[in-house]
Amino acid sequence: MLAAQTICCIDGSFGEGGGQIIRNAVSLSTLLSKPISIQNVRFNRRPPGLRKQHEAGIRLAADIASAKTVGVHQGSTSVEFTPSRLELPRVLAADPGTAGSTTLLLQVALPCLLFSSSTSIESALTLRGGTNASMAPQIDYTLQVFLPFLRRRFGVDIGLKIVQRGYFPKGGGSIYCTIPPLSKPLQAITILERGPIKKIWGEARVGGLPVVIANKMKAAAEAKLIAKGLSSGLIRIDALRERQQDAVASGGGIVLWAETENGCVIGGSCVSTRDKDPSQVGEEAAQSLLDNLQHDECVDEHLQDQMIIFMALAEGKSTVRTGPLTEHTRTAIHVAELMTTARFTVEKIGSGAHTIACEGIGYKPAFECP
């Protein structure tokens, strides 16, 4: 009986001490029917405690898991989440009412909605908020890097449509996702050889602003990449201005991604802000990509932490080469090991590269607790 289960206590100040602990813990709690208590919520953020975005994510997971919650309100530093029965497929929506990132809301819901052995019907999810927000992967990163990774490596084909863009700082955008159910456990992955770069793509976008801003971001990013030795023939960056009806707020951003001959996709990005010249935004996106390419890693810094929950749930041993470990990744590993029987090993290779290996739990769609 669920009531007799021991509550898993989690210290929200561990590692990066931010929202990722909440997202991963709530997702795993939902899948494993394991009650959790999180103390010191967002301890390393100022101000600490839940923001509207985190509140919306927890309530979304609670809808999926028919969960009881305590302390789910803005500013709360203590949260309890007690899941019950998952009933899938579902048609769901979440809206923090702020510019909170839609991609971070997706990180909460996606693992929960993937597993359903009772039907072949997709779940559908509408998420509102910031699509190109600060302090989170932009929606274009999700489209061009994260979702292709899930499709190629784990065989998970998520549908995602941008209904309207919501640029930083106002937000107000909307995305629509379809999540097909899995009929068997995820299979372990091995990605150790990146291979040569065959193309660098990019999109510099603005909404409600002159297209010249997008052109400046594009030009600066191209110049930075070429100055660091990348051939101009490898680079294709488009400058785009959204139609008025396709963007709710004025703003912009640039996302770059490098494709390699072995099927790896490495990203880099930057969001436009009022205090940054467009050329600086383009240069910072290019530098982000260059930083993620310098250690021959097969996944970039954002994919590094997002893949951890899927490695933990997969069946068998996964091994992935990456760059320097981020605090987000260390935190994701900590939560996965705390809540499941998955075990990770991290090995440093040379000056900055690492391999992350995981013996996954082989989570089955029937919702048994492994």
3-state secondary structure the chain: CHHHCCCEEEECCCCCCCHHHHHHHHHHHHHHCCCEEEECCCCCCCCCCCCHHHHHHHHHHHHHHCCEEECCCCCCCEEEEECCCCCCCCEEEECCCCCCEHHHHHHHHHHHHHECCCCCCCEEEEEEEECECCCCCCHHHHHHHHHHHHHHHHCCCCEEEEEEECECCCCCEEEEEEECCECCCCECCEECCCCCEEEEEEEEEEECCCHHHHHHHHHHHHHHHHHCCCCHHHEEEEEEECCHHHECCCEEEEEEEEEECCCCEEEEEEECCCCCCHHHHHHHHHHHHHHHHCCCCCCCHHHHHHCHHHHHHCEEEEEEEECCCCHHHHHHHHHHHHHCCCEEEEEEECCCEEEEEEEEECCCCCCCCC
Mean pLDDT of the chain: 93
pLDDT tens for 195-217 read: 999 999 999 999 999 999 999 99
Residue 280 annotated as binding? no
243 or 5: which leads in pLDDT: 243
Residue 117, pLDDT score: 58
Structure tokens at 231: 């051939």
Residue 90: which pLDDT band, with cuts at 50, 70 and 90?
confident
Whether 47 contacts 77, CB under 8 Å: no
Residue 116: which pLDDT band, with cuts at 50, 70 and 90?
low
Residue 88, pLDDT score: 80
pLDDT tens for 295-318 read: 999 999 999 999 999 999 999 999
Q: What are phi and psi of 173, to 5 degrees?
A: -85, -175
Domains of the chain, by residue range, sit at 1-87, 88-183, 195-293
Confidence check: pLDDT of 368 > 50: no
Task: Report, as an integer, the average pLDDT of 159-178.
Answer: 94
- Whether 328 is catalytic: yes
Residue 313, pLDDT score: 97
pLDDT tens for 273-293 read: 988 999 999 999 999 999 999
pLDDT tens for 234-250 read: 999 999 999 989 998 89
Q: C-alpha distances in angstroms, 231 versus 199, 222, 227?
A: 10, 10, 9
Spatial separation of the C-alpha atoms in residues 30 and 113, rounded to whole Å: 10
Whether 187 contacts 314, CB under 8 Å: yes
Strand partners, 121: none
Amino acid at 58: I
1-87: CATH topology:
Translation Initiation Factor IF3 (3.30.110)
Task: Report, as an integer, the average pLDDT of 138-166.
Answer: 97
Residue 71: which region, alpha, beta or left (left: phi > 0; alpha: psi -120 to 50)? left
Structure tokens at 166: 């919501």
pLDDT tens for 51-70 read: 999 999 999 999 999 999 99
Residue 334 annotated as binding? no
Residue 107 annotated as binding? yes
Residue 306 annotated as binding? yes
- Domain 195-293 - what CATH class? alpha beta
Residue 370: which pLDDT band, with cuts at 50, 70 and 90?
very low
Catalytic residue among 54, 73, 328, 354: 328
Q: Is the peptide bond before 324 cis (omega within 30 degrees of 0)?
A: no
Any residues with CB less than 8 A from the CB of 48 and at least 6 apart, and which?
Answer: 40, 41, 42, 77
Structure tokens at 102: 């839609």
88-183 — its CATH code?
Answer: 3.65.10.20
